[in-house]
């Protein structure tokens, strides 16, 4: 990994402190998604959620914290909720092919995956963004689905809210 990229981020958030769960841990670490990799049963993989943690020497360690497998792919970033959980959106997969909202909860040294909401086309298709309001409610948008009437007649997309999931 190019330390020139990681070093300014590391300086911004400082060094030291204990490794704790929740928001403090998430403020020091960086999180992201990949659209490939992770699942060796698929030719290119199905994507991951990863964590970059400062190692104390100015570098970051890389750890995959979730492999999507049959649960879809995420092209979009994850966000933090007020409790330090990671929230994201993805699409495809066998369970909710129109897309879904997921949560990763830090528990000890692992991250537990849970499905928060599945889209069915009528209530949205292809979620591509999610944000967390100060209240803890989630807001997002989908590319398609909802009421038909766009040029492709598959719905123009929706704005959604999930109340304090």
Burial class (CB in 10 A: 0-12, 13-18, 19+), 127: buried
* pLDDT less than 50: residues of the chain: 1-24
134 is in which domain, residue-wise?
3-162
Question: 43: Cβ–Cβ under 8 A, 6 or more apart, which residues?
Answer: none
The tens digit of pLDDT for each residue in 51-71 reads 998 888 888 888 889 888 766
Prediction pTM value:
0.76
Residue showing tokens 């909802």: 146
Query: Measuring CA to CA, which residue among 152, 151, 85, 155 is closest to residue 126?
Result: 155
The answer to whether residues 156 and 142 touch, using CB atoms and an 8 Å cutoff, is no
pLDDT in the model for residue 90: 87
pLDDT in the model for residue 129: 84
pLDDT in the model for residue 23: 42
Task: Tell me how many domains the chain contains.
Answer: 1
């Amino acid at each position: 990994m190019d330390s020139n990229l990681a070093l300014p981020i590391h300086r911004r958030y400082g060094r030291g402190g204990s490794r704790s769960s929740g928001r403090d841990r998430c403020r020091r670490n960086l999180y992201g998604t990949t659209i490939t990799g992770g699942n060796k049963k698929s030719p290119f993989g199905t994507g991951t959620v990863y964590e970059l943690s400062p190692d104390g020497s100015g570098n970051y360690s890389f750890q995959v914290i979730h492999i999507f497998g049959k649960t879809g792919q995420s092209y979009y970033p994850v966000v933090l909720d007020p409790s330090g959980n990671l929230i994201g959106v993805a699409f495809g997969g066998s369970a909710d092919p129109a897309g879904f909202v997921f949560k990763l909860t830090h528990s000890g040294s692992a991250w537990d995956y849970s499905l928060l909401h599945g889209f069915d086309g009528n209530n949205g298709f292809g979620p591509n963004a999610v944000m967390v309001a100060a209240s803890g409610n989630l807001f997002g948008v989908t590319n398609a689905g909802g009421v038909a009437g766009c040029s492709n007649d598959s719905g123009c997309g929706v704005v959604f809210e999930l109340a304090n999931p």
